[in-house]
Amino acid sequence: MDELELLKKDWNKDTAAYKNYADSDLYPMLHKKSFSIVKTLFYISLAELGFWILINILPYFLSSNYKESISKSYENPIYMSISILSFLVIFVFVYLLFKSQKSISSTDNAKKLMESILNTRKVIKYYVLYNLIMIFITIPLSLYFEFNQNIAFHNQVEAFNSKQMLLLFGFVVLLIGVLLVVFWLFYKLLYGILLKRLNRNYSELKKLEV
């Protein structure tokens, strides 16, 4: 009976030793993977920032009509405020991802790594949500500015009968819906795959903490 108890104790010791060995190997792997994922997210955010800057700047220099139209739009304080806010949000988003990357690279603690992963997830979630809300707001505003600045469009809309106005309203609603779905799918593909990997790392880290 005593020999059996000794055998059980030895078995438990071996199991614990194996677990510690596995955990010590697993954490550096999760740390490296998490850092690599957040680093990739940071580079994607930089590419997105560059893309939107080019989209806004190139037509300004390539088209005189666009230059004139955008100059008139910037005279409106609402349009100007939205434009500044949009770029400010992107810059803040890039900065927060850079901060998350630095935080993950410098931590050697599983709990802190989990916190960094959670913060990264929140940053991306709020950024995507902000962009979808802005699409919902900016399309009607753009049409409103076009109605007030473009005389030909203004006169055309004013000449619409009730059926044509209903069709225009339906078109605007459909356009907003399509763009929301397209951008949601775009961000889901762009950030969703990497976020899933980050979530898996978080789940594995939680198991290590148990």
In this structure, what token pair is assigned to residue 87? 């770029």
In this structure, what token pair is assigned to residue 171? 């078109």
Question: Could you tell me what percent of the chain has a pLDDT over 90?
Answer: 8
pLDDT in tens, 39-56: 999 999 889 888 888 877
Give 56-75 as a DSSP string: HHHHHHH-HHHHHHHHHHHT
pLDDT of the residue at 181: 92
Domain ranges of the chain: 2-209
Query: What confidence category does residue 93 fall into, taking pLDDT thresholds of 50, 70 and 90?
Result: very high
Query: What confidence category does residue 58 fall into, taking pLDDT thresholds of 50, 70 and 90?
Result: confident
pLDDT in tens, 116-173: 888 899 999 999 899 888 888 888 888 887 777 778 778 888 888 888 888 988 988 8
Burial letters 112-124, b for 16+ CB under 10 A, else e: ebbebbebbbebb
pLDDT in tens, 1-34: 444 444 345 434 444 444 454 556 677 888 888 8
pLDDT of the residue at 17: 44
Rounded Cα distance between 95 and 91, Å, is 6
What is the chain's mean pLDDT, rounded?
A: 79
Closest CA relative to residue 31, chosen from 119, 123, 110: 110
pLDDT of the residue at 134: 87
Query: What confidence category does residue 73 fall into, taking pLDDT thresholds of 50, 70 and 90?
Result: low
pLDDT of the residue at 147: 78
Give the chain as a DSSP string: -HHHHHHHHHHHHHHHHHHHHHHHHHHHHHHHHHHHHHHHHHHHHHHHHHHHHHHHHHHHHH-HHHHHHHHHHHTSHHHHHHHHHHHHHHHHHHHHHHHHHHHHHH---HHHHHHHHHHHHHHHHHHHHHHHHHHHHHHHHHHHHHHHH-HHHHHHHHT--HHHHHHHHHHHHHHHHHHHHHHHHHHHHHHHHHHHHHHHHHHHHHHHH-
